[in-house]
Amino acid sequence: MRSRPYRPIRRLARTLILPVLVAALVAGGGTAAQAAAEDTEPPSAPGAITVVSATGTSVELTWTPSSDNVGVLEYHVSQIFTDVAMLHRTTTNSIVLTGMLPSRTYTFAVWAVDAAGNRSAAPPSLRYTMPPGDGQPPTAPTGLAVGAIGETTVGLSWGPSTDNVLLAQYEVLSLTPTGNTVVGRVYLMPPIYPSTGTTISRLTPRTTYRFAVRAEDEAGNYSALSNVVTVTTGPAPTCTARSSRRGPEVWISVRNVGPTPVDGWTLTWALPDSQRIAAIWNAALVSHTGGVVTARNLGWNAVIAPGGTVTIGYLASGSFQPADVTLNGQLCQPG
């Protein structure tokens, strides 16, 4: 029997527990109404759901009928795809659902309802993938662009693909002469939260990469590749820096986190010109102009071994904390 139209249930999280409001449908006179009002026993659970037949756009379901002490009025059948649920009703133990999409996986559940509105338990739900019928690939993503570049990360964004049925995901590929490797995926399930960007991580510093993006639909069809972008990751960190203040005294400690010694160094840091440096130690002041202080090593502390630290101090008016400390032009990470 074909399903009677029924209003869609609101979008909800993946669950098989759907609130169902059943109207008290009473046929006949006072005796039937009284019997229904006194009926508090729910029907038995229907038997397991089975698929009788299916096309790319429809499916026929059946189940063993329920029993009830008075009588089963109808069955409620839920149809769920990701976060979209529909509820259908039928008076027999079978139903034909139409308007489905090929290659899409649905979850079905069924309950029996009697005239008093008592609802049975549901048998185990059925997950069913519709027969294939989608041989059309998505369109290629467009306008692939590079965003923020880190030492081991690269941000990417692109224009969306379209598909005749439904997109499943985007794949980011790293292109090399020896082959292409998937280095990132953007899943599009549920489909109401589309995304056309991601950050690729675990890259190698100071390395050039070529990236492209492709779309995949639910049937496993892949689009052509997007345009290709070339990007070089930033340098590995060579230093960390931390500072402290004790009244007018300011201390800056810089640690060499690189693999080789630093032989001769120049430090810079941000400091407003209005906060003049009255004295400096463990370094020679080179300049303080344009809001930037430059200092260099002394003869005895020119070398900073890997894992080693050099600490300098100075006296300055005001309370500004040093910022943007660099070692030989390399910005030091907070340490």
pTM over 0.85? The answer is no
Q: Residue-wise pLDDT tens for the chain (335 aa)?
A: 444 444 444 433 333 334 333 333 334 444 555 555 688 999 999 999 999 999 888 999 999 999 999 999 999 999 998 778 999 999 999 999 999 888 888 999 999 999 999 999 999 999 998 888 778 899 999 999 998 888 899 999 999 999 888 888 999 999 999 999 999 999 987 665 678 999 999 999 889 999 999 999 888 899 999 999 999 998 777 889 999 988 889 999 999 988 889 999 999 999 998 888 999 999 999 999 989 999 999 999 999 999 999 999 999 887 888 889 999 988 888 88
Looking up tokens 């010109």 gives: 273
Judge whether 51 and 128 are in contact, CB under 8 Å.
yes
Tell me if 30-129 shares its fold with 142-232. Answer: yes
Residue closest to 38 by CA, chosen among 56, 55, 22, 26: 26
CATH architecture of 30-129: Sandwich (2.60)
Judge whether 331 and 254 are in contact, CB under 8 Å.
no
Count how many Cα atoms sit within 13 Å of the Cα of residue 296 in the half-sphere of its side chain: 5
What the block records as the tokens of 55 is 């096309």
Give the number of other Cβ atoms within 10 Å of residue 220's Cβ. 11
Order of strands across the sheet that contains 208-217: 179-187, 167-176, 208-217, 229-232
Q: 52 by DSSP, 3-state: which?
A: strand
Give the number of other Cβ atoms within 10 Å of residue 272's Cβ. 13
Q: What is the CATH number of domain 239-334?
A: 2.60.40.290
Q: Write out the CATH class of domain 142-232.
A: mainly beta
The pLDDT of residue 7 is 43
What the block records as the tokens of 260 is 């080789």
In the chain, what are the domain boundaries? 30-129, 142-232, 239-334
**CA separation for the pair 85, 158 (Å, rounded):** 31
Handedness of CA 103, 109, 115, 117 (dihedral sign): negative
Per-residue pLDDT tens over the stretch 282-293? 999 999 998 999
